[in-house]
Structure 1
Amino acid sequence: MSTWEVARGALTVPGVPAAYGYFMDGVAPGLHRGLPSRYLTFLVSLDEPVGTARTRDDWERNRLARHDVVLGGLRTDPTYVRQTRRQVGIQLAVHPLAARSLFGLPAASLAALTCEGVDVLGDGVRALRERLHELPTWPRRFAALDEYLWSRAAGRHASPRPEVTAAWHQLSHGTVTITELARNTALSTRQLSALVNRELGIGPKALARLMRFDRVVAAIGTEVRAGRRPRLAEIAHGCGFSDQSHLVRDFRRFTGTSPTGFLAEELRNVQAGGHRPGADSAP
C-alpha cells in the first residue's frame, strides 16, 4: 500500500507563487514527467538525490544527473525524472523575474535542464537542506525556506529591464503579437527578442506558447480534481487554440505524449495537487 501526502504552503517572499511539500512511500518505481512551466523550479530533496534526464532515451539508459537541490530554468520540453519508492522534499515555483533577487542571476543563466542548487547558491543551501531535515512539520519547513529566501533577497535590487517585465505582463494577460509587444515597448522585434532571450533563456514567441500550455495543464488539473473527465475541445477553445487537434499537437511538443497519455502516467499526482503552480505572482 502506498502513502501520498502533499502539503501546500504560502511563502511571503515576493516571486514565489506556489510551494508544496511531498511525502510518498511505497510508490511503484518508474518515470515521472516533469512538465515545462512558466516558472523556474527550486526543489530540495529530503531523501535520496533526484535523478533527472534530458531525454527519454537517457532515462531508459539510466544516464541521469543526480541532485540534492534542483534548480530548473524555463524550457519547452519535459524533464524525465526517476520515480523511486520513497520521495520526500519541498518544491517551489519561482517567478523568472525574481531570479536576480533570489538566486543572484538572471533566469537565462539556468540554461541547463536542471542544475545542482549548491553549484549556483553555494554552501548556504546545503545548510538549509540540513535544517529542513531536522524540522518536524511542513509549516516550519516552509517558514525556514521563506527565511532563507528573504536573506538571499536582502540588499539585492537588480531587476530585469522594464521592457522584459512589460512583455511578460502583456503575454500573461492575453493574446498579443510580438509586433504589438515590440511597439508597446518602443523596440524593434529583434531588439525585444534579444532582450527577453538574454533575461529568460527563451524568446517571446516560445514564452507565449509556454504560457498557453501552462493554462492547458491548469485547466486539465481543475477538471481532474473535480472528478470530471477533461473536455479537451472546451479547454482548447478557452486557451486560445484553433481546435482540439491543435491543442493535442502542442501538448505533445511540450511533453512528448498526449493529454491522455500524460494523465495515464500522472493521474494520482494531478489528483494530489501536483502540476498546479498557482496564479501569476510577479515580484
Structure 2
Amino acid sequence: MDTQAPVPAALRPYVAWLSAYDVVGPPGIHRGLPGTSLTFVLPIGAPLDVAWSGDPGSRGAVWSSVAGLHAAPAEIRHDGHQEGFFLALTTAGARALLGLPAAAIAGELLTLDDLVPALRHLPEQLHQSLTWTDRAATLHRALTTALAAGGAPEARAEVGRALARLARGAAVADVAEEVGYSRRHLRNLVVAETGLSPKEYQRVARFETSRDQVLAAARRGGTLAEVAANCGYADQSHLAREWRELAGCAPTTWLREEFPDVQAGGVPVG
C-alpha cells in the first residue's frame, strides 16, 4: 500500500500532499529526491535510517524526519518493509507548522524534537493507534493543533506569487517585474524564504517536474527525449546530467529502483 491520503481543508495551504505507505519488497535504498516541498516522514514499526547521499556523518535512525529544501538526494536504507506517513510541506507549511521559514533548515535533516517539541510525542501516538484510520486521525489532530498554536508570521504574499511563477519556469527578470521588485531584491527575498536562489529554486522545480514526467512516460511508453523537451532542457543529455547531479542516478535507474513493475515495460531513450 502506498496511497495518497486526503488532507483536511485547514491544512491544504501547508501540506501539498500526504501519503500513507506500507510497502514490502526486497531490502534496499530509497532515494529522497529534491523538490519544492519540505519532506516530513513519520515511520511506523521501525525508525527511519536516513542520510544525505555521500555524507555518512548525517546518517541517523529516527522516528521523525524533516528535510529542508535541498539540491542533492537523501538515502533511506530499509530491510524491505517500510511503513508510515510521508508529507510534503509547502514553504508556508514550514512557517505555519514548524514555526520557521524553510530557509532556516535548508539542506538539513532534523527531527520533531529539534524543531517542534510540542509534536515530539506524535510518533509514539501513531504507534499506539491500531488502524490506518486512527493513525490518520491522530496525525490530522496533531497538525491542526500545531497550526492553531501559531507558527512564524506568514511571508509576504508577493513572495508566494514569485515562487509559484518561478516554479512554472518564468524568467527571473519577468517575475521581479511582476511583483514590483528589482532582481536583486527578489533574490534576497527568495533566499530568505527558501534557502535557495531563484535560479536554484527553478532548477529544483524543473527537476521535480521531470521526475513526474519520467514516470508518466514510462507508463505510457514515451521517451526521455520527449520529457527533456517538455521540461525545457536543451536535450536528453542535459536532462541526464541534471539527474546525475540532483538524483545521483539516471532516470532509468530511478525507475528500476522505485517502480520495477513500470520499468519492466521499458522507457525508450530516443
Query: Residue type of the partner of 1:216?
Result: S
Query: Residue type of the partner of 1:69?
Result: S
Label 1:139 to 1:8 Cα distance change in 2 as closer, same or farther (>3 A).
farther
Structure 1 segment 201-216 matched on structure 2, within 5 A: 201-216=195-210
Corresponding position: 1:231 with 2:223 = yes
Aligned to 1:281: none
Aligned to 1:40: 38
Aligned to 1:279: none
Q: For structure 1, which segment, 240-249 or 34-43, has the greater mean C-alpha deviation from structure 2 after superposition?
A: 240-249
Q: CA deviation at 1:164?
A: 1.5
Corresponding position: 1:178 with 2:172 = yes
String of CA shifts for 1:64-85, please: whole Å, max 9, x gaps.
Answer: 2222100011111100221223
Q: What is the SS of the residue equivalent to 1:154?
A: helix
Q: CA deviation at 1:195?
A: 1.1
Corresponding position: 1:159 with 2:158 = no
Query: Which consecutive residues of structure 1, in runs of 5 or more, have no partner in the other structure?
Result: 272-283
Partner Cα distance (1:39, 1:98) in 2: 9
Label 1:145 to 1:270 Cα distance change in 2 as closer, same or farther (>3 A).
farther
Partner Cα distance (1:119, 1:153) in 2: 18
Q: What is the SS of the residue equivalent to 1:74?
A: coil
Query: Residue type of the partner of 1:22?
Result: Y
Aligned to 2:267: none
Query: Which consecutive residues of structure 2, in runs of 5 or more, have no partner in the other structure?
Result: 264-270
Partner Cα distance (2:228, 2:30) in 1: 25
Structure 1 segment 40-79 matched on structure 2, within 5 A: 40-56=38-54, 58=56, 64-79=59-74
Aligned to 2:240: 248
Residues 103 and 191, structure 2, Cα contact 8 Å, conserved in 1: yes
Q: CA deviation at 1:230?
A: 4.3
Query: Residue type of the partner of 2:52?
Result: R
Corresponding position: 1:138 with 2:137 = no
Aligned to 1:194: 188
Corresponding position: 1:82 with 2:83 = no
Query: Residue type of the partner of 1:246?
Result: H
Q: For structure 1, which segment, 9-18 or 131-140, has the greater mean C-alpha deviation from structure 2 after superposition?
A: 131-140
Label 1:63 to 1:154 Cα distance change in 2 as closer, same or farther (>3 A).
closer
Percentage identity across paired residues of the two chains: 33
Say what the alpha-carbon RMSD is for the aligned residues. 2.1
Q: What is the SS of the residue equivalent to 2:29?
A: strand
Q: CA deviation at 1:184?
A: 1.8
If asked which structure has higher relative contact order (CA below 8 Å, sep 6+), I would say 1
Residues 72 and 113, structure 1, Cα contact 8 Å, conserved in 2: yes
Label 1:68 to 1:179 Cα distance change in 2 as closer, same or farther (>3 A).
same
Label 1:270 to 1:189 Cα distance change in 2 as closer, same or farther (>3 A).
farther
Corresponding position: 1:93 with 2:92 = no
Partner Cα distance (1:91, 1:257) in 2: 22
Residues 166 and 172, structure 2, Cα contact 8 Å, conserved in 1: no
Q: CA deviation at 1:222?
A: 2.4
Aligned to 1:20: 19
Residues 18 and 92, structure 1, Cα contact 8 Å, conserved in 2: yes
Residues 10 and 142, structure 1, Cα contact 8 Å, conserved in 2: no
String of CA shifts for 1:90-143, please: whole Å, max 9, x gaps.
Answer: 111111122111111111112343112221111x32322222112222233222
Partner Cα distance (1:82, 1:7) in 2: 21
Aligned to 2:250: 258
Partner Cα distance (1:92, 1:72) in 2: 11
Partner Cα distance (2:140, 2:150) in 1: 16
Q: What is the SS of the residue equivalent to 1:56?
A: coil
Query: Residue type of the partner of 2:169?
Result: T
TM-score (norm 1): 0.84
Equivalent residue pairs, number: 259
Corresponding position: 1:107 with 2:126 = no
Q: CA deviation at 1:42?
A: 0.9
Following TM superposition, the consecutive aligned residue runs of length 4 or more in structure 1 with deviations greater than 3 angstroms are 268-271
Partner Cα distance (2:113, 2:33) in 1: 23
Residues 19 and 93, structure 1, Cα contact 8 Å, conserved in 2: yes
Label 1:63 to 1:210 Cα distance change in 2 as closer, same or farther (>3 A).
closer
Label 1:44 to 1:185 Cα distance change in 2 as closer, same or farther (>3 A).
same
Query: Residue type of the partner of 1:16?
Result: V
Residues 79 and 113, structure 1, Cα contact 8 Å, conserved in 2: no
